Amino acid sequence: MTNKKKPNRWIAILKPLVFLTGLFCAIWIVLWIEKTHPSDFGFYRDIFTREEIIRKRQNYPLRPTGQSLSDDDIRIARIAWKYFENNYNPETGLVNSVDQYHATTFWDLTSSLTAVLSARELRIIDDATMHHRLETAFNTLENMVLYDNKLPNKVYNTITLAMTTYDNRPTERGTGWSSMDIGRFLGFCKRILVNYPEYTPRIERILKRWSLESAIKDATLIGIGLSFKDGVEKEVQEGKLGYEEYCAKGFSKMGFDVLNALSYTDFIKFVDINGMQIGVDVRETRHHPSYNYILSDPYVLDGIEYGFDINSLELGYRVLQALEKESNNRNLLVCVGENHIDQPPYFVYNTLYSNGKKWNCVSESGDEVPELKTFSTGAAFGWYYLFDTPFTQKLFDKALSLYDEDLGWYSGVYEESGEINKAITANVNSLVLCAVNYKQHGSNIYMRPTMYED
């Protein structure tokens, strides 16, 4: 008969305690890493539920669409179209990104093409003008040189079509590609396919040359940049809260899996700004190469171009409310956005929040330039045409004077000096045109039948 060893009763008691202790430590480690290294762990946190948003939907002061245009609306749109008359390059079909500066990014190129469609739908130009401009641009897009023979370069000369650097110096190699810019262009492509299907073969030929899968990795948006120090190619995840989801919609509309990039809640946290819980991206620059700017532009563009979704409506409206409270606190109209400016460093992000700081104004390199904080003309018009409130009326009234009859709409006003920021750009003037078009044709203009008549 064999002797069976009895189990030690202390082991039986300690086993579950050891397990629970280990589990507790594991959870603590994960939470600590999440807090100190948010780039490594996404987390889901909602302070509003779908049911709450649905209940609130009737209370959002969204401006009614499908409205007749006033004389002021038409005048506003016609001033904006002057920019695209002055900066059009007839041989290439491209438009300068800044007045008389012969360069364009794909973001700016999309702005110019959406401006053409809005101008036609508002009956500012005729059918022949629209088709000629589209045909010329599509010819260019079918034949332009691509970065690494895969995707459009970040910047092109609008006359020579050479790939350039951001300061418009020709570069044979190129400067990489932006999946954000490409995603926005794909939204324009979807609008063409739905509303102007006669151009379907042209869009198919353009996109057939591109390796769009190269801009996606693990259902997120991937860009390519070159190191300033040694020119080494670097792959980066592109887009933070607001911009990431807006640009991912273009890929999604064209059938690509960008589910992770479309999620508003994977890397969201909420920061108190003037009593409003503002959604910001936890991925700060200490962990990620791109900045987590929170400003007007992606929410305004999302509302006008696609129609707000349940998340962008709530998050965007909170941004607008924070702007109103800041304006009241400072007794100065505040309307933040990304802007070209008429002095060095020539482009800034005016933000509610970026890289851990509230009401921060930064250059593209991340340098803080608080003296260049600017009231944004484009954002002011966008908020006005999207939301009907006394505050958006004030934004609209201030923006109404910021133009040159022969050149287009200025970018804004410097907060500190009160002087006009006289940079005139494709992005601002396109946004103005599209905002007026939104009033007449409604929020989902990328998904509607053509509704203009001569």
* pLDDT single digits (tens) 89-106: 999 999 999 999 999 999
The predicted structure's pLDDT at residue 443: 75
Residue 16 lies in a domain: no
Q: How far is CA 90 from the centre of its chain?
A: 28
Cβ neighbours around 414 below 10 Å, total: 17
CA 435, CA 157: separation in Å to the nearest integer?
Answer: 28
Residue 330 lies in a domain: yes
Cβ neighbours around 380 below 10 Å, total: 30
CA 281, CA 279: separation in Å to the nearest integer?
Answer: 7
The predicted structure's pLDDT at residue 56: 64
Residue 20 lies in a domain: no
Instruction: Show the DSSP H helices in 87-199 as ranges.
Output: 106-121, 127-143, 179-195
Q: Are 137 and 115 in contact (CB under 8 A)?
A: no
The partner residues of 348 in beta bridges, in order of sequence, read 339, 363
Residue 50 lies in a domain: no
Write out 368-392 in H/E/C secondary structure: ECHHHCEEEHHHHHHHHHHECCHHH
The predicted structure's pLDDT at residue 310: 87
pTM: 0.87
224-257 pLDDT per residue, tens: 988 666 678 889 999 999 999 999 999 999 999 9
Name the DSSP letter for residue 167. Answer: T
What average pLDDT score do residues 3-25 get?
53
- Given a cut of 90, whether residue 14 has pLDDT beyond it is no
26-43 pLDDT per residue, tens: 444 434 434 433 333 233
Residue 42 lies in a domain: no
| Range of the structural domain that residue 322 is part of | 66-442
The predicted structure's pLDDT at residue 265: 87
Instruction: Read off the CATH number of the domain in which 336 is found.
Output: 1.50.10.140
Task: Report the SS3 class of residue 175.
Answer: coil
What average pLDDT score do residues 275-292 get?
80
Residue 25 lies in a domain: no
- Given a cut of 60, whether residue 5 has pLDDT beyond it is no
What average pLDDT score do residues 289-299 get?
88
What average pLDDT score do residues 202-218 get?
97
The predicted structure's pLDDT at residue 3: 47
DSSP 23-74: HHHHHHHHHHHHHH-TTT--B---SS-HHHHHHHGGGS-BPP-SPPPPHHHH
Q: Are 367 and 361 in contact (CB under 8 A)?
A: no
The predicted structure's pLDDT at residue 333: 98
Q: Are 313 and 53 in contact (CB under 8 A)?
A: yes
CA 155, CA 262: separation in Å to the nearest integer?
Answer: 26
Residue 7 lies in a domain: no
**pLDDT band of 139, cuts 50, 70, 90:** very high
Q: Given the structure tokens 């002095």, which residue do they identify?
A: 343
In the chain, the largest separation of any two C-alpha atoms, in whole Å, equals 108
CA 322, CA 318: separation in Å to the nearest integer?
Answer: 6
- For residues 447 and 365, the model is more confident at 365
**Residue partners of 418: CB distance under 8 A and separation at least 6:** none
Radius of gyration over every alpha carbon of the chain, rounded to an integer in angstroms: 24
Count of domains forming the chain: 1
- Given a cut of 60, whether residue 7 has pLDDT beyond it is no
What average pLDDT score do residues 38-58 get?
49
- For residues 286 and 397, the model is more confident at 397
Which H/E stretch holds residue 404?
Answer: strand 403-404
- For residues 269 and 231, the model is more confident at 269
**Residue partners of 405: CB distance under 8 A and separation at least 6:** 79, 82
- Given a cut of 50, whether residue 402 has pLDDT beyond it is yes
What average pLDDT score do residues 197-219 get?
97
CA 398, CA 384: separation in Å to the nearest integer?
Answer: 11
CA 204, CA 401: separation in Å to the nearest integer?
Answer: 42
The pLDDT mean for the chain works out to 88
**pLDDT band of 366, cuts 50, 70, 90:** confident
The burial class, CB within 10 Å (0-12 / 13-18 / 19+), for 231 is exposed
Q: Are 134 and 113 in contact (CB under 8 A)?
A: yes
Which tokens belong to 47? 């302070």
Q: Which of 272, 277, 323, 259 is nearest to 297 (CA)?
A: 323
- Given a cut of 70, whether residue 113 has pLDDT beyond it is yes
Instruction: Show the DSSP H helices in 213-296 as ranges.
Output: 243-253, 259-262
Which tokens belong to 378? 């484009």
E strands, 153-302, are 155-157, 216-217, 220-226, 233-237, 268-273, 276-281
Could you tell me what percent of the chain has a pLDDT over 70? 83
Q: Are 319 and 273 in contact (CB under 8 A)?
A: no
What average pLDDT score do residues 38-49 get?
39
The predicted structure's pLDDT at residue 122: 96
The predicted structure's pLDDT at residue 239: 93
Residue 12 lies in a domain: no
- Given a cut of 80, whether residue 399 has pLDDT beyond it is yes
